[in-house]
Amino acid sequence: MTERETDGDQTLHGSLHSLRGEYEEIKEIYRTRRQDMPEAQVSMNVRKASEKVSIIDVEGELTAFAEDLLMDAYNQASDGQARAIILNFEDLEYMNSSGIGLLVTLLIRINREKQQLLTYGLSDHYKSIFQITRLDDAISTYDTEEEAVRAANAM
């Protein structure tokens, strides 16, 4: 760039040409990087267990990249008259501390709407993480969907 800035007027046309070339090269780099950027390695499916209970099936990795998907899923699950939201973690493959933070913000939103948050399908490892982070103080965990739905309907 320094070299281009020192170009004289007689080379202006050549400079513009090389700038255009560099611009195209930069666009290609951005396109490549965007493809390489880590995307949310998670999918979420929303379904109804009953009139007042919705289930969000979380499959994959719960990290910071999952925030938009999780909140969209919650909006869908909460649409209507849902009083309880159940997170199905049977197919959870990975969760880091940012994922825990997401669950906290989701819980706050749910409580603000006077709803309940429950989970089922956590492996022993992730149950332990819920205990380490003391999420289990506020989020009930169950082994099966049937137990979770029964508990949600009873609330």
Partner 1 sequence: MIESSPPPGEKGEKQPRDTPLWAQRVERLEVSDVPEGAANVNVQGRREVGALQGFGQLWQKTYRVRLAGLEKTPEEVVREWKEHFPEFLPLNSRFYPSMEGVAPGEVLFISASVGGMPVHTGVRVIYADDESFTVMTPEGHPESGWNTFSAYQDDDGATVAQIQSLARANDPIYEVGFRIVGATQQERIWTHVLKSLAAHFSVNEPVSLEKVCVDPKVQWSQVRNVWHNAGARSMLYTITAPLRWRRASQD
Query: What is the binding site for partner 1 (CB under 8 A)?
Result: 30, 33-34, 37, 92-98, 100-101, 104-105, 107-108, 112, 123-126, 128-129, 131-135, 137-138
* Shortest distance (Å) from residue 94 CB to partner 1: 5
Q: Cβ 51 to partner 1, closest distance in Å?
A: 28
Tokens standing for 94? 């990975």
User: Amino acid identity of 26?
Assistant: I
Output 77 or 117, the one with its CB closest to partner 1.
117
Coil, strand or helix at 116: strand
Closer CB to partner 1, 49 or 92, in the complex: 92
Long-range contacts of residues 28-36, Cβ cutoff 8 Å, at least 24 apart: none
Residue identified by tokens 């825990």 is 100
Least distance (Å) from partner 1 to the CB of residue 13? 29
Beta carbon nearer to partner 1, 43 or 131: 131
- Rounded to a whole number of angstroms, the minimum distance from the CB of residue 124 to partner 1 is 4
Q: Which of 15, 133 has the CB closer to partner 1?
A: 133
91 contacts 119 by C-beta, under 8 angstroms: no
> Quick count: other Cβ atoms within 10 Å of Cβ 119?
24
The order of strands in the sheet holding 140-142 is 42-50, 53-62, 84-95, 116-120, 140-142
Output the smallest distance, CB 96 to partner 1, in A. 6
Which CB atom, from 40 or from 100, has the smaller least distance to partner 1?
A: 100
